[in-house]
């Protein structure tokens, strides 16, 4: 029984599989690996899916649909013949054909698939993709994000060093930028930005406009059929420029032949309005990722439109960097999905990689600000859109004098009052009866990509209690399997050996220093703890690195201070010292430690009780 990877694209879909330590693409009977995501209705015959359907786009545009992925997760209906279909149903048809095609190619039954989706797909779009697969007879263990798949393909090619990547996925109708951090065995999407209406089709339209302008034609009054032929010829000419220096576009209208020459210099000029939009997206994603161009190690070109040399030239000029091209840009995502099937099957040839995902809803516990509150509010533990897997700790203190225990009620949702959210379960723990606020418990949440939540509570006497919650119906065996996978995540960063030692070191410096130093170290401790609790893997890693560096600089500075204390030039030197340490602090601030974004500091004051 085979497992395949599928890139279910807006324009084209592809499938791949893992065999003998390598990833391969699945081809159709004509050797084509690109499968157009198009469906067409043929009178008296029924529905045609794939290349045959795409070929009818010009001749039978009324009966042909494509780009329906854009409306995944909505109720939009497409009419084909006498019936209406949703994007989910049309996607199911594409998946079914890919499955059939794959079975013919592999001479084996295919039951399972890993499907890629855009990183920004919401919960509904993701669950509709899974439903489409189910209709097509495919069980989908996991969806992975397209940029993660691309990053995985990149890592297979270039090794597993820590890298910051920008995945530039330029397809037929969309441009998706993703800022991805790869470190250890984790691939994490930090930010995404995109334009759902910016792709190869728009380049074709710009070429059409240019053609009309050059030939003194008015596009508005061109017959619909001429217009679609011209659009198709523009696309063909654009693709020819990959191998030819110069090409011709021609169109005959009412016996008269119109022609225009196209080369890369002309195309570059023609594309300038599009490049302006791309530049804006770059600014947006870098702002969102709080990064600069210089932070990027590589720019990975993905999607059919990334084949265009004018696009590469533009990016080279914009970023001052040579873009990385992994073979055919329109196949990278599918190849990454195929690599992932290798990981899922625990294939020996491939290292266990962890692809992070995004949590589509908030998970939290019920809490109270003060004991007179009528209703408990929702205290978020794992925020919506956090990258998964994610671990968080929260300390809660008693609310009533002499209360004997705390009940931690777990909810899912975005509402202010806990009761308005979806109740998932509860766990209780005894506490020593003392005055309100004097006793505390720590609540640990670990949520993984399989939708399993592990909750543990610990009181001040180290008594522990835990529970597992899952959003899917899982058999005992599956749960066991997932539990094992999660074990590595269960030690929250703040309790990991290395970090505990760092914290102890900071604390001991705090103890032994005075005045300015004390204040500084206090701030560092606070930042360190918050950073470790921010729930984002790459930021945690950065926090640890930065804290180590800070500690080193601090120790050095302190040593100098001691020397200077004895040579009488204290004042000037102290100013130098100040400057040195401030530089380090500013550097850390500028690196956008998670602290502003994840201001957990406030929530430590919240109280909880029964
Ligand atoms: P999607 O991810 O949206 O399904 P693809 O990655 O398959 O799309 O990209 C399709 C787009 O790539 C189309 O606009 C097509 O014109 C363009 N394309 C394909 N081959 C080339 C090429 N050789 N040169 C330029 N553009 C190309
Ligand atoms: Mg794509």
How many angstroms does the Cα of residue 172 sit away from the middle of ligand 1? 5
Q: How far apart are CA 530 and CA 510, in angstroms?
A: 17
Burial class, 294, CB count within 10 angstroms (exposed 0-12 / middle 13-18 / buried 19+): exposed
Q: Is the pLDDT of residue 271 over 90?
A: yes
Based on C-alpha coordinates, what's the Rg of the chain? 29
- pTM attached to this predicted model: 0.73
> What does the block give as tokens for 210?
């240019």
How many angstroms does the Cα of residue 286 sit away from the middle of ligand 2? 22
Q: How far apart are CA 546 and CA 443, in angstroms?
A: 27
Are 23 and 16 a contacting pair, CB within 8 Å? Answer: yes
Q: Tens of pLDDT along 288-313?
A: 888 889 889 999 999 999 999 999 99
Tell me how far CA of residue 137 lies from CA of 97, 113, 143, 345, 474, in angstroms.
Answer: 11, 10, 16, 20, 20
- Ligand 1 proximity of 9 Cβ (cutoff 6 Å): yes
Question: Closest Cα to residue 351, out of 514, 78, 161, 111?
Answer: 161
pLDDT in the model for residue 473:
59
pLDDT in the model for residue 260:
97
Q: Is the pLDDT of residue 108 over 80?
A: yes
Average pLDDT in the 142-149 region? Answer: 90
How many angstroms does the Cα of residue 207 sit away from the middle of ligand 2? 22
600 half-sphere exposure, CB direction, 13 A CA radius: 23
pLDDT in the model for residue 590:
44
pLDDT in the model for residue 580:
59
> What does the block give as tokens for 495?
């309790």
Are 461 and 453 a contacting pair, CB within 8 Å? Answer: no
566 half-sphere exposure, CB direction, 13 A CA radius: 4
pLDDT in the model for residue 288:
80
Q: How far apart are CA 506 and CA 516, in angstroms?
A: 15
CA angle 185, 188, 190 (to 5 degrees): 155
Q: How far apart are CA 54 and CA 76, in angstroms?
A: 21
Q: Where are the alpha helices (DSSP H) in 373-463?
A: none
Are 336 and 148 a contacting pair, CB within 8 Å? Answer: yes
Give the ligand whose atoms come closest to the C-alpha of residue 305.
Answer: 1
> How would residue 603 be classed by pLDDT, with cut points 50, 70 and 90?
very low
Task: Please state whether beta strands 46-49 and 35-36 pair in parallel, antiparallel, or not at all (unpaired).
Answer: unpaired
- Ligand 1 proximity of 303 Cβ (cutoff 6 Å): yes
How many angstroms does the Cα of residue 554 sit away from the middle of ligand 1? 53
Name which residue sits closest to atom 20 of ligand 1, judged by CA: 304
Q: Is the pLDDT of residue 348 over 60?
A: no
In three-state secondary structure terms, 18 is strand
Q: Tens of pLDDT along 482-494?
A: 666 666 566 678 8
Are 215 and 258 a contacting pair, CB within 8 Å? Answer: yes
- Ligand 1 proximity of 194 Cβ (cutoff 6 Å): no
Task: Please state whether beta strands 64-66 and 139-145 pair in parallel, antiparallel, or not at all (unpaired).
Answer: unpaired
In three-state secondary structure terms, 452 is strand
Give Cβ neighbours of residue 309 (< 8 Å, ≥ 6 apart).
241, 242, 264
Pocket test of ligand 1: the residue of 7, 9, 11 to mutate, having most ligand atoms within 8 Å of its CB, is 11
Give the ligand whose atoms come closest to the C-alpha of residue 147.
Answer: 2
CA angle 153, 156, 158 (to 5 degrees): 105
Alpha-carbon dihedral of residues 213, 217, 220, 226, nearest 10 degrees? -110
144 bridge partner residues:
116
How many angstroms does the Cα of residue 305 sit away from the middle of ligand 1? 4
Pocket test of ligand 1: the residue of 32, 234, 304 to mutate, having most ligand atoms within 8 Å of its CB, is 304
- Ligand 1 proximity of 11 Cβ (cutoff 6 Å): yes
Which atom of ligand 1 approaches the CA of 330 most closely? 6
Name which residue sits closest to atom 8 of ligand 1, judged by CA: 171
DSSP string, 62-92: GGEEE-GGGGTTS--EEEETTEEEEHHHHHH
575 half-sphere exposure, CB direction, 13 A CA radius: 3
> What does the block give as tokens for 591?
């690196």
Q: Which residues of 399-416 are buried (b: 16+ CB within 10 A; e: fewer)?
A: beeebeebebbbbbbeee
The mean pLDDT of the chain is 86
What's phi and psi for 240, nearest 5 deg? -65, -30
Q: Tens of pLDDT along 531-589?
A: 887 766 777 888 898 889 888 888 887 777 666 555 545 455 556 656 656 665 555 44
Question: Closest Cα to residue 335, out of 157, 154, 153?
Answer: 153
- Ligand 1 proximity of 200 Cβ (cutoff 6 Å): yes
> What does the block give as tokens for 11?
């324009």
In three-state secondary structure terms, 424 is strand
Q: Tens of pLDDT along 352-407?
A: 666 766 676 789 999 998 878 889 999 999 887 677 777 888 889 999 899 999 99
Q: Tens of pLDDT along 164-221?
A: 999 999 999 999 999 999 887 778 888 888 888 899 999 999 999 999 999 999 999 9
Percent of the chain with pLDDT over 70: 85
In three-state secondary structure terms, 329 is helix
Q: Tens of pLDDT along 246-259?
A: 999 999 999 999 99
Name which residue sits closest to atom 22 of ligand 1, judged by CA: 239
Please count the helices (runs of H) and the strands (runs of E) in the chain. Answer: 15, 29
- The residue that leads in pLDDT, 280 or 598, is 280
How many angstroms does the Cα of residue 34 sit away from the middle of ligand 1? 10
Which atom of ligand 1 approaches the CA of 303 most closely? 6
Q: Is the pLDDT of residue 599 over 50?
A: no
Cβ neighbours around 590 below 10 Å, total: 10
Q: Tens of pLDDT along 506-540?
A: 999 999 887 778 888 888 898 898 888 776 677 78
Pocket test of ligand 1: the residue of 34, 200, 310 to mutate, having most ligand atoms within 8 Å of its CB, is 200
Name which residue sits closest to atom 19 of ligand 1, judged by CA: 304
- Ligand 1 proximity of 307 Cβ (cutoff 6 Å): yes
Which atom of ligand 1 approaches the CA of 241 most closely? 24
pLDDT in the model for residue 601:
27
Q: Where are the alpha helices (DSSP H) in 109-145?
A: 123-135
Name which residue sits closest to atom 24 of ligand 1, judged by CA: 239
Are 331 and 124 a contacting pair, CB within 8 Å? Answer: no
- Ligand 1 proximity of 511 Cβ (cutoff 6 Å): no
């Amino acid at each position: 029984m085979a497992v395949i990877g599928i890139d279910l694209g807006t324009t084209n879909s592809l499938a791949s599989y893992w065999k003998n330590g390598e990833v391969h693409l699945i081809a159709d009977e004509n050797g084509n690996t690109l499968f157009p995501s198009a469906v067409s209705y043929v009178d008296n015959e029924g529905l045609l899916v794939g290349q045959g359907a795409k070929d009818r786009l010009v001749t039978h545009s009324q009966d042909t649909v494509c780009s329906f992925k854009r409306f995944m997760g909505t109720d939009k209906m497409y009419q084909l013949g006498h019936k209406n279909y949703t994007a989910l149903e049309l996607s199911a048809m594409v998946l079914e054909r890919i499955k059939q095609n794959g079975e013919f190619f592999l001479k084996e039954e295919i039951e399972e698939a890993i499907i890629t989706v855009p990183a920004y797909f919401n919960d509904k779009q993701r669950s509709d993709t899974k439903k489409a697969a189910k209709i097509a007879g495919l069980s989908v263990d996991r969806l992975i994000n397209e940029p993660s798949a691309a990053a995985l393909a990149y890592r297979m090619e270039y090794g597993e060093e820590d890298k910051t990547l920008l995945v530039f996925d330029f397809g037929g109708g969309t441009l998706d930028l993703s800022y991805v951090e790869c470190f250890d065995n984790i691939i994490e999407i930090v930010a995404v930005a995109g334009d759902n209406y910016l792709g190869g089709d728009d380049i074709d339209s710009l070429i059409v406009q240019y053609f009309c302008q050059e030939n003194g034609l008015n596009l508005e009054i061109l017959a619909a059929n001429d217009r679609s032929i011209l659009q198709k010829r523009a696309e063909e000419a654009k693709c020819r420029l990959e191998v030819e220096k110069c090409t011709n576009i021609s169109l005959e209208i009412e016996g008269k032949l119109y022609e225009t020459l196209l080369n890369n210099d002309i195309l570059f000029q023609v594309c300038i309005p599009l490049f302006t939009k791309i530049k804006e997206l770059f600014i947006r994603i870098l702002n969102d990722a709080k990064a600069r161009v210089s932070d990027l190690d590589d720019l990975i070109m993905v999607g059919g439109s990334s084949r265009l040399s004018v696009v590469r030239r533009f990016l080279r000029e914009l970023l001052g960097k040579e873009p990385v091209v992994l073979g055919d840009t329109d196949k990278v995502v599918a190849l990454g999905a195929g690599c992932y099937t290798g990981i899922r099957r625990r294939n020996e040839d491939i290292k266990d990689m962890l692809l992070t995902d995004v949590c589509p809803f908030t998970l939290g516990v019920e809490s109270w600000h003060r004991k007179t509150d009528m209703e408990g509010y929702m205290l978020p533990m794992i925020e919506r859109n956090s990258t998964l897997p994610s671990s968080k700790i929260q300390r809660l203190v008693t609310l009533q004098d002499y209360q004997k225990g705390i009940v931690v009620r777990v909810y899912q949702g975005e509402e202010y009052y806990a009761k308005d959210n979806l109740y998932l379960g509860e766990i209780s723990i005894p506490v020593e009866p003392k005055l309100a606020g004097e006793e505390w418990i720590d609540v640990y949440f670990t949520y993984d990509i399989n939708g399993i939540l592990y909750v543990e509570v610990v009181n001040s006497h180290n008594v522990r209690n835990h529970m597992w919650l899952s959003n899917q119906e899982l058999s005992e065996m599956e749960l066991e399997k997932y539990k094992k996978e999660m074990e590595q995540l269960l030690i929250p960063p703040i309790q990991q050996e290395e970090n505990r030692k760092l914290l102890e070191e900071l604390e001991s410096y705090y103890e032994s220093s005075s005045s300015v130093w004390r204040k500084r170290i206090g701030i560092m401790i606070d930042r360190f703890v918050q950073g470790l609790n921010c729930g984002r893997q790459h930021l945690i890693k950065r926090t640890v690195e930065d804290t180590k560096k800070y500690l080193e600089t601090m120790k050095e500075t302190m040593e100098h201070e001691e020397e200077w204390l004895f040579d009488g030039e204290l004042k000037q030197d102290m100013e130098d010292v100040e400057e040195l340490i401030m530089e380090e602090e500013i550097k850390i601030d500028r690196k956008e430690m998670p602290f502003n974004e994840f201001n957990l500091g406030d929530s430590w004051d919240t109280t909880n009780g029964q």
